[in-house]
Structures are given as structure tokens and as C-alpha cells.
Chains A and B, each alone.
Chain A
Amino acid sequence: MNSPCPSDPDHFWQSAAEVDPLLQAHLAECVTCRARQQRAQLAVRLLRALPAQRAPKTLDGAVVAALHAGTRQERAIQQVSALTRQEVPAELNSRVEDALVWTAEQPAPAELEVRLRAELAAPSEAMSRRFLGRLDRLRAPQDLDQRLSVPARSSSRRRAFAFVGTLLVVMGLASLALQRWGAELSSSQQQPRVAVQWNIEVIESAEGLDPVSRALIGGLSGGASEVLGKEKL
């Protein structure tokens, strides 16, 4: 290849009649430039095939406004500079003061103090109590009442079984509660830290997206975003 590739891509948009003979010679021997030119020409054909759109009537006004944007900014700055500072009404001050005084005067209930002290003294115990307290209380079966009504023949062996059984149940429930607490803690750490109240807009067509978003979803979906739903138009 003798001639270098043109640095200005605008050359590829020219029609065959307009192309410089040197460039034509280059295109004959450079595959990359020929592909670029073919793509550009396809784009030109597509653009020419589009129906002509009338400019909106408001365009004239917008052009004039844009041309005088500097003057407009200066006028706005002058107007804003000329504004005088507005005093807050005295009534608002007194109301804010009243509200703040009222809030400051409200002491925390004594019960809160007691609970807080107990929690700080034994945090793990308080946590277990809290989670165990959330478990549903089950009702004992009726036949248990009947059995208990019969005088029990107590023996040391039965008491030992009962003790071990109860201990295991308590350990099991405590372990369950701690596991659940751990899971809740880890999932809460994964959650986003803010709850933003979004103004949500659902876009129906890829044409409603800006070029970067449109290219991204177009690439991800293999082009489906550009085509699906179009045949109904």
C-alpha cells in the first residue's frame, strides 16, 4: 500500500463523484478504509431515505434567545443582585423557639432509662431475650394436661432426662435465634444505605433513551432493544 489512510473521516461521506482520485486509488488497495467508506455510504443512504421533518415554529425564537444568551444571563444576574434580603417574620421565630423549648423540656420516660441500663450491662443476654421473645408461643397439647392431672411418679432418672431435654431445646432455640439474627445482620449490611424517593419514568422504546444508554442496552440485548416492538409501528 503506497498512500496513507486519510486522517479525516469526512472523506468517506462524499459520494463517488466527489471522491478525490488519490483517495479512490487508496480505497482500491486498503480494505479497512473501503469498509469504512461502505459503512459511511450506507449511513448516507439511510439518512437520505428519512422523511424530511419541518422545524418547529418555536425554533426561530429559540435561536434568537440562544444568540442573546449572554445578554440574558447578564440581565438575570442584575435582577438577582438587585434583590433585597427578606426578613423572617417575628411570629415564625417565636413559633420555632416554642417548639424547640417544648422538645427540650420533655424528659425520656424512666422506663427507657431502666431498659437502656439493663441492655448496656448485658448486651448478649438482652439480644437473646429479644429474639426468643419473638418466637411464637405454642400451646401445649390437651393430653398433656390430662397426664399432668395424674400424680407423677417422680424419679431422679426422669428428672435428669427432663433437665437434659429442656436444656437441649433451650440451646437449640437460642442457636436458631442467633443464626437468624446473624442472617438479618449480614443481609442488612448488603442493603443500600439510602432509601431514595425516585421520580421513576418507564421508557417504552429504545428511542426514548440517550445514545449511551441506547448503545449499552442494544449491545447487551444483541440488538433486540432496537427491533422488538417496531413492527407494530
Chain B
Amino acid sequence: MKHLLFLSLCVLTLLGAGCSQQSESQEPAALGLTSGGPLPGFLERIPKAPFTTRYYARRRIVQNQTRAGGVPQVFEYTERVWSNGQGGFRVEPEQLIQPTLPASQANLFLLLQSAREGFMYRVRDFRVQDLRLFLRTYQLQVIGSHLAVAGQACERLRVTSAGAGGYHELDVAPQTGLILRCVEFDANGSELGRMETLEYNATPDLSMVSLHQELPIQDLDLANTQSQLGYELRTPSFLPSGYELAKAERVDLANETWARLSYTDGAEQAFFLHRRIGGGLTVSDPLAKHNLRVFTVGPWTMLDATVNNHRFLAAGRLGKDQLQMMIESAIP
């Protein structure tokens, strides 16, 4: 009988432990800084550093990917970056190193990279997009200090996502908060990719640099999308774990009006775009067309869905199922 009583107490104790663990995991205090010390002071500077620091850098970008059939493939190029410290920037692709392509294709790649420099600068690299969310989603560990990257003193952080098995190592210049080197590893410690600064200049001459020109974008008032878009925006009610809405915009792309919603888990970004492509059928009507096009490259997935006279795009460093659920949750 004593065994029975002991068992009962164990059950209750375990249930209690389960509840408290769940509630504690949402506390910012459970950050997991192994040193147990306070957060590094430069952490707050990281999100805005690319836009508030005047600098020039030459950088090398490498992605190690595996093609279908397990064939390893390396994607490597260099680029030059300028920032005026007041929000203006320029990214100029320099040389495609791997894979080896015919000259015309390599030139086309450089041209396209130049055309999407805004994305390259804001989205491509692992960045702290939103510090509050970042601290909730990721665990931080200071694993090195007084390291040098392109002649700049850096602190090394290891950033681990609560959900994924891999991790990132960031070398951050504490004075500016700029990430000068970022290496991504999988759960086994194999390198998946890196961005590293090869040259750095804190006082660049920007007189000959043509800064990035923004696309026509307006902030979207989610309470009144009809007047801005000409149709009612469908927003996803399902979001991948840890993600929150960061921005809602109206963008005009290739002569088409789109609503673009950006979501972030603090570092990674996912995009959801919606556009009405004609009158007549609405998403509420019985489904006449429901086509889903899926494109995957490395860890990134792009879904292009047509539902009656509406188009939805969802893209991010997420699996197909999660993006598909986002789209489906936007359909009534």
C-alpha cells in the first residue's frame, strides 16, 4: 500500500513539474547564458547596427548544400558592402567562385544579385531582427572574446534555436554591434554555411557609391486593407512556432499589387504574400482552382498557391507543411 501512495505522489509531482516547466520556458529569464551572467551589452545594438554603422566591408558567402541524391554542392561568392550609417546601403556582388558557370550565366547571377541587394542586406544573413522575440526563441552563450575578424575585435556568441538541432556562431564587434562573421552548423557540428568579413573599413569614401533605392512600398493598415489594396487581405491564422508578424506592406511588383506580410522568430524571416488576380470567384466560394506549386532550395521553401481568383505566396526557411498550413489558414 505504501508503494501505491508513493506512486500517487510521484504522478502528482510529475504533473506539477510538467506545468511549471511549460510556464518557465516563456520567461525571458530562462535565456540559457551558460556563464549565468547578464546579457552582453552590445546585444541591443545588433538589430540596427547594419543601418546605424558607417562602414565598408568585403565579404565572402558560402553555402554547403546537398542536392537530391546526396550530392554535396558548394555555393560561394564575394561581395562588397557600403553603409552610410543613416539607413542607406549598397551591396555589390563581386565574383561567383562556386559553382563554375558559363560567363553569361555568372554575369546574369551578379546582375540579379545586384538587383535584389535590399533582400541580400536585410534578410539573407542570420540577423537579430527583433531582440525581444530573439531572446524568447533562441538561447545565447558567450563562447569567446577578443577574437579578430578583418582586424576588428569581436565577441563570439553561440545561438541555438529551441526548436532546431543546429546552431549559429556569431562574431560581433561589440562597439558597433555589427555581425562580422556568422557560421551555421547542423546538430552534428558540420558547417552548413558562412558569411565572413574579409576586409573592413570604418571610414569609407561614399562619394562614388550609389546607394540602394527602395521599391515603392507603403505600410499596410490591417484594419482597412480594402482601400489600400482594392481587395480584402486574407491573413494566416496559423503561424510556425515562435513566429510573429513584423511588418505588413503593400508592394508593387512586376506591375502587380501585392500585400506582403513579414514574420520573424527574432532572427529568421518568413514571408506571406496575397493578391487578388481577378473578379468573380472569391476564396469563400467553392474551390474551383486550387493549385500549389512547390520549390525548394537547401533549407528554403517557396509555395505559390492559386485558390480561385487569389494567389498566395509563402516562403521561408521552413518546411513545406508549415508554409502550406499558413496558406490554408488564410482560406476561410
Contact = CB atoms under 8 A, between A and B. Distances in A.
Interface of A: 31-32, 34-36, 39, 42-43, 45-46, 49-50, 158, 161-162, 164-166, 168-169, 171-173, 175-176, 179, 190-203, 206, 208-213, 215-231
B144 interface: no
B86 interface: no
Interface string B119-136: 110011100000000000
Given A212-B254, A223-B112, 10 more contacts: A31-B210, A46-B107, A196-B328, A202-B293, A212-B256, A215-B116, A219-B119, A222-B124, A224-B297, A225-B300
B316 A220 contact: yes
Contact of A201 (B12, B112, B293, B300): B293
Contacts of B7: 165, 169
Contacts of A173: 11
A215 B300 CA distance: 13
B5 A165 contact: yes
Interface stretch (B43-51, B157-165, B225-233, B284-292): B284-292
Contacts of B253: 211-212, 215
Contacts of B297: 206, 217, 221, 224-225, 228
A111 B112 CA distance: 69
Interface of B: 1-2, 4-5, 7-9, 11-12, 15, 18-19, 61, 63, 65, 67, 73, 75, 77, 93, 96, 99-101, 104-105, 107-109, 111-114, 116, 118-120, 123-125, 207-210, 237-238, 253-254, 256, 258, 269, 271, 273, 287, 290-295, 297-298, 300, 302, 304-305, 307, 313, 315-317, 324-325, 328-329, 331-332
A220 B124 contact: yes
B295 A208 contact: yes
Contacts of B209: 31
Most chain B C-beta atoms within 10 Å of own C-beta, residue among A32, A164, A172, A220? A220
Contacts of B111: 39, 42-43, 46
Given A221-B297, A221-B300, A227-B75, A213 B291 contact: no
Query: Nearest 9 CB-CB pairs, A to B?
Result: A219-B119, A168-B8, A192-B328, A172-B11, A35-B210, A198-B292, A217-B302, A192-B329, A165-B4
A29 to B, nearest CB: 12
Contacts of A221: 124, 297-298, 300
A27 to B, nearest CB: 12
Given A49-B104, A165-B5, A219 B116 contact: yes
Contact of B302 (A49, A201, A213): A213
B1 A162 contact: yes
B181 to A, nearest CB: 16
Nearest to B209: A31
Contacts of A226: 108-109, 112
Contacts of A195: 328
Contact of A230 (B101, B120, B256, B317): B101
A192 B238 contact: yes
A231 B97 CA distance: 12
A168 B9 contact: yes
B263 to A, nearest CB: 13
A193 B316 CA distance: 22
Given A165-B8, A213-B295, A219-B119, A42 B107 contact: yes
15 contacts: A36-B210, A165-B5, A168-B5, A191-B329, A198-B324, A199-B292, A200-B291, A200-B292, A201-B293, A209-B295, A216-B302, A221-B124, A222-B61, A224-B297, A229-B67
Contacts of A45: 107
A164 B8 CA distance: 9
Contacts of B63: 222, 224
Most chain B C-beta atoms within 10 Å of own C-beta, residue among A34, A179, A213? A213
A176 B292 contact: no
A59 B11 CA distance: 76
B304 A209 contact: yes
Nearest to A50: B104
A46 B104 contact: yes
Contacts of B65: 224, 228
